[in-house]
Amino acid sequence: MVSNNNNIFCVSNPARMLDALYELIKNSGVDFSDALVFLPSRRAVRAAEKMFVARAGHAVILPKLVALGEGVDTDEIPEYDNTFSTSERVVLLAKLLAADANIGNISTALQIARDFVRCADYMENEGVDAASIDWESLIDEKYAEHFRSKAKLLDILTRVLPSMANGRPTDVAVRNADVRAWIDEVAKYPCVIVCGSTASVPATADLMVAVANLAQGKIILPGKIDGRIADFELDTNPYNSEYKFLSRIGVVPSDVHVLDFGASNIDFLNYAFGNDTAPYVGNNDLSNCHLVECDTERDEAFAVAEICRRATHDNKTVMVITPDAAGNQRIAAALEKYSLDADFSGAKSGATIPAARAVLNLLDSWIDTGHGGFDMCYTRANFNLFDAVANIVSDYIDFMKPEFEIESADSGLVWCAIKKLSDCLARYDIKLSCADARAFIADAVATISVRSVPNENAKIVVLGTIESRMQTADVVILTGLNDGMFPSTGYENAWLPRRIAEQIGLPSPERKVSLMAGDFINMSCGADVYWLRAENSGGVKTLESRFISRVVARGGRFDLDVGRDILKTIRDADKVPYQPLDSSAPNPPSDWSDVYVTELEKLIHNPYAFYVAHILRLRPRDDWWVGADARVFGNLVHDVIEHARDFSPAAIIHEMDRAARDVLHTSDTDAMLFQFWHKRFVDIAKLVNDNAALLMKSVPEIGGKCVIAGRTIRARADRVWDGGVMDIKTGGVPTESQLRAGTMPQLPLEAYMLSSGGFNISTTDASQTPKMVFMQLRNFNTKMVWYDEADVSGMMRAAIDKVTDLVNMYSVGNAPYEYHDTGDKKYKMYDALARVDD
């Protein structure tokens, strides 16, 4: 199909592609709100939204902005509803492959299944109909035995798997169909632009062809395609994909219009990445680019932090581009050392989530020791893996490391992944051993992408190479510029010889080098660009990126002096003269203000925490992006019991479920969390009903006070009645030894208030010698813990003595509020202020 519309553009300065997009729509004569714009990614869409508002200078109705999802690996495509999902195909294939005597067990089969599904998705994404190929004839005796063995599996699996889909499409097919569906819609818009796409994905290329053939369609290609056709035809050339697209629509590179948005390095970089042997006659000045060659990867990370420090000091924005997750973590640690705030909203692997690590670590220990915990929980759950994991978490959470919050948003992602896996296992009647379960859970959580909420206020953003496309900043830092990292190697298909992959129409693994070359030259056109690399990695010498080598070999004149100064600065920072840290405890004037019994626990166990909470009146702020947690659960349970009038199990469960639904939302994460909570509500409701008579005669949430050693002590008791006090705990309760020692004085002091008339209720002689009871609503351990009059008398005396000692020490004696490390996280919320790690 040939485009005669003269509507293919590029930009003289690729760093200003968003400006070009704005001007192209503005000059089209079409209202912004009527335009349709396709961009490579969701992050590019966000950048465009900000740009349109900033350029307009006021509120504006935006064009319709659509993210094409370019550059996403096939195994990162989200699972859609009503598809033959990736999870299901992997589980089904693992079962089929495990029947092969050469494979033998389902854990081994799982690895092969995951690799095959990735291969199948890759072929489908590239438009290869794997089911129509005679693999055994194609991969014949000329090839190695392992390729021929895989060919037999390919022949079977590419035919069997689609037949078991029951007409459902794969996730890849749905994603590509969503992109191609726009082909029938674009003609309805008066202005349609595809901006920043390389046309490297077939579905996107098809859409771009349709747009190019519209009278109102326009394409803005990344970079500035200019050079020799022979170079463009090379798989590693930065314009290889664009050239193929232009050839498809009958446009030669010289017909691409250059939109003038100022000078840049692009002409020299095009020459550097081509193979023309003639000397370059243009401007080879790359003084905007600074090469920083660090000794180690640690130095590289701190060089990034130093560049960011200087830039933000000058009120500049910074974009850091890192090609690997490990580099991302090193940079995060270095920025934290510099106290620099950054946006790290790129995805992390679900394997890093504490809940996932804790489950896998526990299963590992059981496998090593032969512990039967998994089999017991799995059998009790009728071989439902999700219910088994729920049982494991309920029964063994105290033995699981690292610690995690069941209710956290990240944990919810883990429960969702395990639920999907469990449903697939049940569908195909697969039962697992402990080792098999460990393998399947590890595989499932590895597919999770954890994304934090974008930090829109940060001047520093850290992105991967794909996310960085069409992003701009005052300062751009390219890191990891070593061969094998930037550029990294492309997808090597373990199922197919390279010659066969090329024969059936799959792109070369070098395509990734081509795309990253495009990223490098486009980003290097920024106003202030840093190229960073580490000369050593893990004690091994590295090889500089071929991108830098090309610039050097072609005579590019870039800056080295700034890099030397940065390295000197970070090395000098390691030579800080010794300064003893003033770690003395705070010692404010004597405090005689009223104090609540709950705060006294802080004073006993960690005086510094009491100082921050009670003296300074500081409170940790809630994180708006964190979902329901253990505190929310506790407040919910307390509130329902406080306001209950009907204590029957059905009524209590109904009210707690209703309250939970009000707190939780409709996501899969919250749905999983609701299942955990509901199981607890059932146990709680039974105990509440068993003690309904006591609850009905008691007064809920009542304030009280007493005076000890001249200081007023206040409380807000959960339940009080004539003759006793109750504390409701959704976690564990204090031990008897703690109560007798006076180190957990809350309930004994409430009992003392009752005995001394401190609560505004009618009392008799029964309240002179009160009882105490804890209603323990701990998961899988709900019970009433009673203490009789004799026990309570001693516990009250111990609590009074403890408070007297505290008043004499801090209010009378003006002792400093020292930091005590108890290991209990409820007393550690102010550790950052105490600088305990310094």
- What angle do helix axes 106-125 and 86-98 make, rounded to 10 degrees? 130
The CA distance from 653 to 650, in Å, is 5
Structure tokens at 775: 């209603």
pLDDT of residue 605: 94
pLDDT of residue 71: 46
* Helical spans, DSSP H, in 486-560: 498-503, 511-523, 546-553
- Tokens 């192209």 sit on residue: 24
Instruction: State the average pLDDT over residues 653-671.
Output: 78
The CA distance from 220 to 202, in Å, is 17
pLDDT of residue 73: 46
pLDDT of residue 291: 97
Evaluate if residue 832 carries a pLDDT over 90: no
Beta bridge partners of 133: none
Q: Which of 268, 224, 290 is nearest to 481 (CA)?
A: 290
Evaluate if residue 319 carries a pLDDT over 90: yes
The tens digit of pLDDT for each residue in 789-808 reads 999 999 999 999 999 999 99
Residue 145: partners with Cβ closer than 8 Å, 6 or more residues away: none
CA atoms 607, 610, 614, 620: torsion sign = positive
Burial tier of 450 (Cβ tally within 10 Å: 0-12, 13-18, 19+): middle
∠ CA(451), CA(456), CA(458), 5° rounding? 100
pLDDT of residue 728: 96
pLDDT of residue 579: 75
pLDDT of residue 153: 84
Evaluate if residue 496 carries a pLDDT over 90: no
∠ CA(482), CA(485), CA(486), 5° rounding? 70
pLDDT of residue 76: 46
pLDDT of residue 455: 79
Instruction: State the average pLDDT over residues 726-747.
Output: 94
pLDDT of residue 298: 94
∠ CA(552), CA(556), CA(559), 5° rounding? 95
- First CA to last CA across the chain, in angstroms? 67
CB atoms within 10 A of CB 167: 6
pLDDT of residue 665: 64
The tens digit of pLDDT for each residue in 399-409 reads 899 999 888 88
pLDDT of residue 409: 84
- Tokens 């051993």 sit on residue: 433
Instruction: State the average pLDDT over residues 247-276.
Output: 95
* Confidence band, pLDDT 50/70/90 cuts, at residue 508: confident
* Confidence band, pLDDT 50/70/90 cuts, at residue 255: very high
Of 80-94, 341-355, 532-546, 701-715, the least confident: 341-355
* Confidence band, pLDDT 50/70/90 cuts, at residue 72: very low
The tens digit of pLDDT for each residue in 366-385 reads 999 888 899 999 999 999 99
pLDDT of residue 476: 97
pLDDT of residue 525: 95
Evaluate if residue 269 carries a pLDDT over 90: yes
The CA distance from 188 to 9, in Å, is 22
pLDDT of residue 75: 44
The long-range contacts involving 386-390, CB below 8 angstroms and separated by at least 24 positions, are: 386/415, 386/418, 386/419, 386/421, 386/422, 386/423, 387/422, 388/437, 389/359, 389/415, 389/418, 389/422, 389/441, 390/675, 390/676, 390/679
Beta-strand runs (E) in 57-105 = 64-67
* Confidence band, pLDDT 50/70/90 cuts, at residue 5: low
In percent, the amount of the chain with pLDDT more than 70 equals 95
Q: Which of 493, 512, 461 is nearest to 198 (CA)?
A: 512
pLDDT, averaged across the chain: 90
The CA distance from 519 to 513, in Å, is 10
Amino acid identity for residue 291 in this structure: L
Of 260-269, 448-457, 761-770, 777-786, the least confident: 448-457
* Confidence band, pLDDT 50/70/90 cuts, at residue 162: confident
